Structure 1
Amino acid sequence: MAYRETEKMRLRKAGIRQRIFDCAYHRVSQGGFRNASINLVAEDAGVATGSVYRHFESKAELFAEVFREATQIELDKVESALTGQEPALVRLERAIRQFAERALRGPVMAWSLIAEPVDPLVEEERLNYRRSYAEFFERVILEGIEAGTLPPQDAHLSATCLVGALAESLVGPLSPQQQGPVQMPPVGDQSRQKVLIEPIIDFCMQGVSGQRR
């Protein structure tokens, strides 16, 4: 007779898998992917190392799932910021500001998502992440062009440039070297807004509107 997995066993396995995932996610959020070795994740989850590989084919697969979960949260936030009846430029500014502020509030996870060296499978997820942002921005830019509030332009190219500018401008401030004892003032501090976030927004808005804020 063929073995049939009971519902109790299925739930137990699902619970172990979720616990492994949660421990990996926590380690990445606290120290990046470099801080989430399989041995440490297994120890945190209270399972043997081999058990991790029974639920995830490889470390790269586990990391890719962590990456997808973390980026979906960020994508949902930006998509929400881009939604509304305001002019396209207002919504773009709101989304870019939120992206930058959230990144600076959680620099470790943001660095992991934007720039930390990762396995090719995770890098593929990163490309999808950036592509999704570009698609959101492109949609709003096209709406602005159609409404006459933004000048004619290649919306796809402009959106891609926005994503690139955002990512590259934050790489330095988010890098582990900047996360030591000497840090910039908190996000709510006006000096931080002035020296980092506002210039990023100015650059992006001027790029799509052709006008200074």
Structure 2
Amino acid sequence: MAYRETEKMRQRKAQARNKIIECTWECVAEGGFRSARITRIAGLAGVATGTIYRHFESREDLFAEIFRLATQREVDKVAEALSVPGNAVERLDGALRKFAQRALKGPMKAWALIAEPVDPKVEQERLVYRKAYASLFEKAIQDGIAEGSLSEQNARLSSTCLVGAISESLVGPLSPTQTNTTPGNDNNQDELVNAIVCFCIRGLTDSRS
């Protein structure tokens, strides 16, 4: 008789997989991908290291899955901010502001997602999600051109520039080696967010066709 997996066994496997994912993200949130050791993840999840490799073919596959899940949450937040009432400039301002504020609120998590040196599989996912952000911004820019709140411009190129500008501007402040800013200083963070958003919005509104 052929082996058939029971529903209870499937649920147990799913629970173990979810626990591994949860504990991996906990490690990444504390110290980035480089601190997420398989032995530590297994210990936190209460499983053997071999169990992890039954769910994920490699460490890189596990990290790529973690990256996908974590980044999708951030993409969803940007999409949510872009869906509120208002003209395109107001919505883009709110979305860029939310992106920067969330990054600064969880600097280690944001560093891991935005700039930490990672394995090729994770870097590939990073490129996928940069495109996802750009697609959201491109649609908002197109809306702004149509409604007249933004001048005629290459919406695709402008959206790519937005992603690059806001990501690059956060690399220094998010870096674990950064010592020029005081962690938790809300005034410094507000000033930084305002400067980043102002630069991005000016780039869009002052563009020339």
Q: Please give the TM-score of this superposition, normalised by the length of structure 1.
A: 0.93
- Alignment partners' CA distance in 1, 2:204 and 2:13: 50
1:176 aligns to what SS in structure 2?
coil
Structure-2 residue corresponding to 1:23: 23
Once the two structures are TM-superposed, the CA of residue 185 in structure 1 deviates from its matched residue by 5.4
Please say which of residues 46-55 and 152-161 is displaced more in the overlay. 46-55
- 1:192 and 2:189 are equivalent in the alignment: yes
Write the deviation string for residues 85-107 of structure 1: whole angstroms up to 9, x where unpaired.
Answer: 31111110111111101000000
Deviation >2 Å, runs of 4+: 182-187, 189-192
Task: Output the amino acid matched with 1:206.
Answer: R
Fraction of identical pairs, as percent: 56
Question: Which structure 1 residue ranges, 5 or more long, are not aligned?
Answer: none
1:141-160 alignment, distance < 5 Å: 141-160=141-160
* CA positional deviation for 1:21: 1.1
Q: Distance in 2 between matches of 1:46 and 1:145?
A: 54
RMSD: 1.4
- The answer as to whether partners of 2:38 and 2:59 remain within 8 angstroms in 1 is yes
8 Å contact 1:88–1:149 — kept in the other structure?
Answer: yes
2:177 aligns to what SS in structure 1? Answer: helix
How does 1:1-213 map onto structure 2 within 5 Å? 1-178=1-178, 183-184=181-182, 186=184, 189-194=186-191, 196-210=192-206
C-alpha spacing 1:135/1:49, structure 2 compared with 1 (3 Å): same
Amino acid across the alignment from 2:106? G
Hey, what's the Cα distance between the residues in 1 that align with 2:188 and 2:49?
46
* Contact 2:181–2:188 (Cα < 8 Å) also in 1: no
Total equivalences in the alignment: 207
> In structure 2, what residue type is equivalent to 1:193?
D
Contact 1:184–1:192 (CA<8 Å) still a contact in 2? no
The residue type equivalent to 1:186 in the other structure is: G
Cα distance per residue 1:131-163 (max 9 Å; x no partner): 000000000000000111100000000000000
